[in-house]
């Protein structure tokens, strides 16, 4: 009976609510949105159910594989999969990454899940199911290395921003592969540059890191607005104006792309710190 487990409602609440009262009544608040602790617990139950499935992934995997697995399950079991980002991403083979795999309901469920499964799997010498961030770092960089044109559309900021922007320094700084920086950049954010954090850093600052191509700054823009206000305007415009493009199905190609990345980086003269680049910069 998946209907009772999924499609959990969110309610329009108010930020002035008394939170001790909410807690007593099993209501959870996200600023002015309300949900129930049932929703949290049922989400945990659904996640447990699908992770205990025999065909669930095992061992150290990328977050793209983890999210793809959940998306596929939601396509089958969720009553309204068209409203789920993970379901739609899985349907169109779009890889979904997270930069903070332990910091979420899924992160907690994965850690708790292993309590349930450790015994069985450890007996078979298996390691617990978990996200290996190394694979994510390599997959995202491999996608960037393979693309003709690169860029980022960032809704909000925080750790996900750098996680994708660092693909360029990872290529040049760690693997000796020059891709020249991203070619376009759109960020919708309420963060500001003056706090010095990466979240509010300008595209200009990103140029100094080789994250954005210095010749493409005219293709960068920061929209200082709440994403819930600005994103519908931007996306409506894009859907209205842009012709449909051939789907890239990057999820299916990601292992091949990482293979190419590792091959390319092996052809570089030195181990993995790019000695030539190092010398070049020392001379300056």
Task: Please identify every residue annotated as catalytic.
Answer: 211
What is the nearest approach in angstroms of a second copy to the Cβ of residue 251?
A: 18
Is residue 95 within the footprint of a second copy (CB under 8 A)?
no
Q: Which among 79-87, 88-96, 109-117, 243-251 is the span making contact with a second copy, rule CB under 8 A?
A: 109-117
- Does 110 participate in binding a second copy (rule CB under 8 A)? yes
Shortest approach of a second copy to residue 168 CB, angstroms? Answer: 11
Chain positions 218 to 247 lying near a second copy, rule: CB under 8 A, are 222, 224-226, 228-230
* Binding letters toward a second copy, positions 248-277, x by CB under 8 A: --------------x--xx----xxxx--x
Q: How many residues bind a second copy (CB under 8 A)?
A: 103
Rg (CA), the chain: 21
Q: Is position 130 an interface residue for a second copy (rule: CB under 8 A)? A: yes
Binders of a second copy among residues 150 to 179 (CB under 8 A) are 156, 158-160, 162-163, 166, 169-170, 173-175
Q: Is 27 in the site for a second copy (CB under 8 A)?
A: yes
74 vs 261 by CB, closer to a second copy: 261
Residue by residue, DSSP assigns the chain as -HHHHSS---EE--TTS-HHHHHHTTEEEETTEEEEHHHHHHHHHHHHHHHSSTTS--SEE-HHHHHHHHHHHHHHH-S-GGG-HHHHHHHTT-----S-TTSSHHHHHHHHHHHHHHHHHHHTTPPPPEE-HHHHHHHHHHHHHH-SS-EEEEES-SHHHHHHHTHHHIIIIIS-----SBSEEEEEES--GGG--STT--HHHHHHTTSB-GGGGGGEEEEES-HHHHHHHHHHHHHHHSPP-----HHHHHHHHHHHHHHHHHTSSSSSS-HHHHHHHHH-
Nearer Cβ to a second copy, position 94 or 188?
Answer: 188
Stretch of residues binding a second copy (CB under 8 A), selected from 75-83, 143-151, 195-203, 245-253: 195-203
Is residue 186 close enough to count as binding a second copy by CB under 8 A?
no
- Binding of residue 56 to a second copy (CB under 8 A): no
């Amino acid at each position: 009976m998946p209907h009772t487990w999924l499609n959990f409602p969110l309610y329009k609440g108010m930020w002035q609510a008394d939170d001790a009262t909410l807690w007593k009544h099993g209501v959870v608040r996200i600023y002015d949105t309300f949900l129930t602790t049932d929703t949290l617990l049922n989400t945990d139950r659904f996640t447990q159910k699908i992770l205990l499935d025999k065909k669930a992934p095992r061992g150290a995997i990328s977050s793209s594989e983890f999210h793809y697995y959940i998306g596929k399950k939601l396509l089958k079991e969720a009553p309204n999969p068209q409203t789920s980002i993970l379901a739609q991403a899985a349907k169109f083979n779009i890889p979904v990454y997270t930069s903070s795999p332990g910091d979420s309901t899924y992160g907690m469920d994965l850690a708790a899940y292993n309590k349930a499964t450790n015994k069985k799997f450890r007996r078979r010498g298996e390691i617990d199911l978990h996200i290996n961030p190394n694979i994510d770092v390599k997959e995202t960089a491999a996608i960037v290395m393979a693309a003709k044109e690169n860029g980022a559309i960032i809704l909000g900021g925080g750790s996900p921003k750098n996680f994708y922007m660092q693909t360029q320094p990872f290529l040049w700084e760690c693997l000796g592969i020059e891709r020249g920086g991203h070619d376009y950049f759109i960020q919708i954010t309420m963060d500001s540059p003056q706090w010095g954090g990466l979240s509010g850093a300008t595209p200009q600052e990103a140029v100094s890191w080789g994250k954005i191509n210095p010749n493409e700054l005219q293709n960068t823009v920061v929209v200082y607005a709440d994403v819930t206000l600005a994103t519908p305007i931007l996306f409506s415009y894009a859907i209205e104006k842009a012709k449909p493009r051939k789907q890239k199905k990057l999820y299916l190609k990601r292992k091949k792309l990482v293979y190419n990345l590792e091959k390319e980086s092996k052809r570089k003269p030195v181990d993995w710190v790019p000695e030539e680049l190092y010398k070049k910069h020392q001379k300056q």
